[in-house]
Chains A and B, each alone.
Chain A
Amino acid sequence: AQKVTQAQTEISVVEKEDVTLDCVYETRDTTYYLFWYKQPPSGELVFLIRRNSFDEQNEISGRYSWNFQKSTSSFNFTITASQVVDSAVYFCALSEAWNRDDKIIFGKGTRLHILP
């Protein structure tokens, strides 16, 4: 069955510290897509990254980096030198590619507090 687990419900770190948000997924398919979204206090989910199951190369975008490991079914997200503006709820998500009628499944989210 399709499932996304974000074990960390809430994390607090002091500004400028690095922080890693964990994401573990379950899927029956060999072709799938993983996503991270950010939800600031305004409520709108902001797309951060998409990764397909055939591309295990890690990605870096400024202070953000993602570590995709199929062997452990994990897609972790690291923020380096965190800033107060990074405070938000972060969602990891998964979709299976074998059926167009499928939809994106989200984890329960991790609320990140960056303390000044």
Chain B
Amino acid sequence: EAGVTQSPTHLIKTRGQQATLRCSPISGHTSVYWYQQALGLGLQFLLWYDEGEERNRGNFPPRFSGRQFPNYSSELNVNALELEDSALYLCASSLYDQGPWDGYTFGSGTRLTVV
């Protein structure tokens, strides 16, 4: 069974540009979560999608947005990139009715570097 896959592995962007990160959940999982792992800050919750809808959002500005497609894959978009957006972005998936109680399955992440 394929795990959670993320693409690209690495992404280098210039300040002010837009970045698009992609995530494919484990087959059968409908919930997708995005976390930001910036240096020294641990994992910060960004977004949660389930059945195509945004279900919860962390304390991030509106330029962080995303969507979930009918096949449950997801995109994270970061507009007007700032240097402090440089981080590892991790995607995780779960079944809806297990989510926060059973734990998530994570992908390997996308390393975003803003220069």
Contacts and interface: CB of A to CB of B under 8 A. Distances in A.
A69 B33 CA distance: 29
Given A44-B107, A44-B108, A47-B105, A103 B100 contact: yes
A81 to B, nearest CB: 26
Contacts of B108: 42-44
A105 B88 CA distance: 17
A91 interface: yes
A36 B6 CA distance: 22
B45 interface: yes
Interface stretch (A11-19, A59-67, A106-114): A106-114
Nearest to A105: B45
Nearest to B58: A103
Given A45-B106, A95-B101, A103 B56 contact: yes
Contact of B103 (A43, A47, A97): A47
A104 interface: yes
A44 B42 contact: no
Interface in B19-71: 33, 35, 40-43, 45, 48, 55-56, 58
Give chain A's interface residue range (CB within 8 Å of chain B): 20 to 34
Contact of B104 (A100, A104, A108): A104
B90 interface: yes
A104 B42 contact: no
Interface string A90-101: 010001110011
A37 B92 CA distance: 13
A103 B48 contact: yes
B109 A33 contact: no
A50 interface: yes
Contacts of B42: 91, 106-109
Interface of B: 3, 33, 35, 40-43, 45, 48, 55-56, 58, 88, 90, 92, 97, 99-109, 111
Shortest 6 CB-CB distances between A and B: which pairs? A108-B42, A95-B100, A45-B106, A106-B43, A44-B108, A43-B109
